[in-house]
Structure 1
Amino acid sequence: MHSAVASDLWRERTTDANGPCLPTDGVKRRGEHDHPPDIAKCEVMKAIASMRKCPRDEPHTPVYQIYNAEAAKLISSGVDFVTNIPRFHSVKHGLYYQRHLFMPNLPSQREDIVLEGVYTKTMDGKDFLAFDSQPQNRIIGYATVDNLRLLCESTDVQRDGTFKTVPKLFHQLYTLRNWQQQGDSACDVCSAPQQTQGNIQRLVPEDQFEM
């Protein structure tokens, strides 16, 4: 600076020094913000923080449901919010990480499976674990008391097996379903380690079993 006033306010920097000029008191002063905050981005950041908190508070709620619930709130707020909503695939890893912090690791073998508490009930608190044949050649059956009653009262029971949606530690997901005249249905879903006639006979009485 060339003026005396300027020399009092600012310290000179050597020509080979990098960096800004500083006031003589050594305090760097920043300019004041003169633009309004981006409300949409702020609300989206709040929503993302809420998404990450929900898996800790509600560890058994599916992650995609948590995302959809928070995204729906933003969508109802206006177009500006919609354009700032992150896609599910960009936030799902963080959500799953938060949930895994409060949930046990998946078992590596059937003998390690422990079913108790929330893992034996439906979302509305009804008993859902019908039987568990542990330990070897393990079969797990799920059904509510009402579903079992309807199955026992039914004269016709349909059976079906699938392999695509079964957990990795099991071979087959086997379903028992009845159809009533009113159109109501009940199902008993079981996981079997192998697709054998012996395993299926353990689920269905021999006098009703047909290959």
Structure 2
Amino acid sequence: MEILQSNKGGSKLCYEGYIYTRHALRKTKQWWKCTLKSSLGCRGNLSTDLQHENPIPSQPHNHAPDDTSIQLAKVRSNMKQKALSTHNAPSQIFAECLSYTSHTVKAMLPAEDNCKRSIRRHRPILPSPSTLSELTIPSDFSTTVDEDPQPFLFYDNCTDSNSRVVAFATDDNLRLLAAADTIFMDGTFDTAPPLFKQIFTIRITCSNSHITVVYGLLLVL
């Protein structure tokens, strides 16, 4: 028997090839119903004590046990837990969780991009720093969100909070910048995030279009 955390923050109980969600809580017992009650009309249920032990099945299921679905639920639960407990990039969490997953379970997972979006949704919202010395940029916000993530945090003089400068650019964008014949620079003040005074951008002309290749957050004007 194993307890997993559901996407909605509740608990799922896995037992003998079936998955249950908690249905009712009494003084000394918890009642659990089959997760396929709505889709298959399954009335299978069981009870446990308050410590999630001593399972006692009450009603039989109308379908066969499915260990693969349990393994799938475990993988998705692990992704959520890693999203909550680490600052690893979604692509890294996805790869770690799939490293010990069977091909059958991998085939049942949503597309990789969907899994990574789910990981980002489960990330706790970082508290807003009150000073620049408190501002740290975790790895999840330092890379792009492509299938092959690239470094995006190009520069951060984090040791100098009196003149903090944070710049974002990919290696590909820097190569485009180095090859550009014409460069445009612009500073915006009204939309600068708290603690900074200016958003500074560098743009170039590429294939008859103007693209931004560097974003900077500046404290000094």
TM-score of the alignment, normalized to the shorter chain, above 0.5 = no
User: Of Structure 1 and Structure 2, which has the larger fraction of its residues in strand?
Assistant: 2
The structure having more radius of gyration, on CA atoms, is 1
Greater helix percent: which structure? Answer: 1
Task: State TM-score, norm by structure 2.
Answer: 0.40
